[in-house]
Structure 1
Amino acid sequence: MLSTVFGLPTHPLVVHFVVFFIPVTVLTALVVSLWPEARRRFALWALGAATIAVLAVPLATETGEHLEARVPHSKLVEEHAELADALLPLMAALWVGLALVVAVRWYAGRATEARWTGFAMAGAIVITVVASLATGVQVVRIGHSGSKAVWHEVGSESGAGQAP
């Protein structure tokens, strides 16, 4: 994978896909899970956004590892990398929850006797809501730690007068 694009590190460019698609996925997953009419209309769209997000996470991780090898080692960069390593399993759980919501909704619409689908949908909703909240919190933590790693000296006495 390219480590730079037009002389800029690839990681900040790729991260914007993650920063956009994960919050969109989290919000649409919560709406689709908790509002049956939205589930009927937008569940597949939410799963599509989740698919893009889950595919973007490994790209962001890989480009981040390339960038980490090129910058000075620091506790802030290490913290950012550790937090980022937890994102893919959380995003995968969110994707699975949404896939279950879509599958149970599809099956319930075609089954003649589907008493179990209410329980299955409740389970899918719980997985989706919990994974959405955990993923949303984690992406904020990762973004905050990345921002601190890049901008921690700006505005401080030791970084005064230096360009970012």
Structure 2
Amino acid sequence: MTTVNGLPAHILLVHAIVVLLPLAALLLVLTALWPAARARLAAPNAILSILVVLLVPLTTSAGEWLERRVPQNDLLHKHTELGDNAIFYAIPIAVLALIVWWREREAQPGSGRRTWLAPLSTAVTGVVAVLALIAGAAGVYGIYRIGDSGSKAAWTGSFSTTETTPRGQGHD
């Protein structure tokens, strides 16, 4: 995917990642720590997290296309280097979201399923919760750094801090 409605696709896709990955991370932490949230949100978050994993390479690929069409500079280089790591934030969140969902499924009474992930073990629940906190925090911070570097690459030197057209005298 290169453009959408005349705009570089990366510009549009990146907004999905910036919103959906932190949302998946937040839901991961909630579902890992809070049983009521787990019962209601573990399955939707597993789906959301997989969607994010699928969107990251699409967004990165669109970013590589755009990178070849804009002037190169140090800010852009930093952004592209950081952007290559986005998948390493998305995958652990998705894996843990799937684990939380699967454990919730196994814990349902009367399911008659064989349990693989010790759904009733408080020790395993504690380990999953700690890993969820780590992966969630790392994902949010990592995406923040990637987005911040992208904003700097796109906007540094591209605007004025003073108005060029006074209010009320601009375009109608």
Q: TM-score, normalised by structure 1?
A: 0.86
Q: Name the structure 2 match of 1:53.
A: 52
Q: Which residue of 1 aligns with 2:157?
A: 153
**Can you list the C-alpha shifts for 1:62-110, whole angstroms capped at 9, x where unaligned?**
0000000111111101100111111101210011111111112222334
The Cα shift of 1:120 comes to 2.4
Match of 1:121 in 2: 125
Corresponding residue number in structure 1 for 2:74: 75
Report which of the two has the higher share of helix: 1
Larger radius of gyration: 2
Give the RMSD, CA atoms, in angstroms.
Answer: 2.3
For 1:74 and 1:119, locate their aligned partners in 2 and report how far apart those are by CA, in whole Å. Answer: 49
For residues 5 and 39 of structure 2, the distance between their equivalents in structure 1, rounded to whole angstroms, comes to 43
Q: 1:91 matched to which residue of 2? A: 90
Count of aligned pairs: 158
Aligned residue type for 2:18: V
Is residue 34 of structure 2 the alignment partner of residue 30 of structure 1? no
Which amino acid letter does the alignment assign opposite residue 96 of structure 1? V
**How far 1:50 moved relative to its partner?**
0.9
Structure 2 distance, partners of 1:38, 1:115, is 15
Aligned partners of 1:32 and 1:115: how far apart in 2? 13
CA distance in 2, matches of 1:60, 1:94: 18
Q: Give yes or no for contact 1:80–1:142 (8 Å, CA) kept in 2.
A: yes
User: Any runs of at least 4 consecutive aligned residues in structure 1 with deviations exceeding 4 A, and if so which?
Assistant: 110-116
How many angstroms does 1:124 deviate by? 2.0
CA distance in 2, matches of 1:24, 1:36: 18
The 5 Å alignment of 1:99-110 reads: 99-109=98-108, 110=111
Preserved CA contact (<8 Å) 2:33 2:129:
yes
Partners of 1:145 and 1:115 in 2: CA distance: 40
SS of aligned partner of 2:68: helix
**SS of aligned partner of 1:51:** helix
- TM-score by structure 2 length? 0.82
Deviation, 1:6, is 2.9
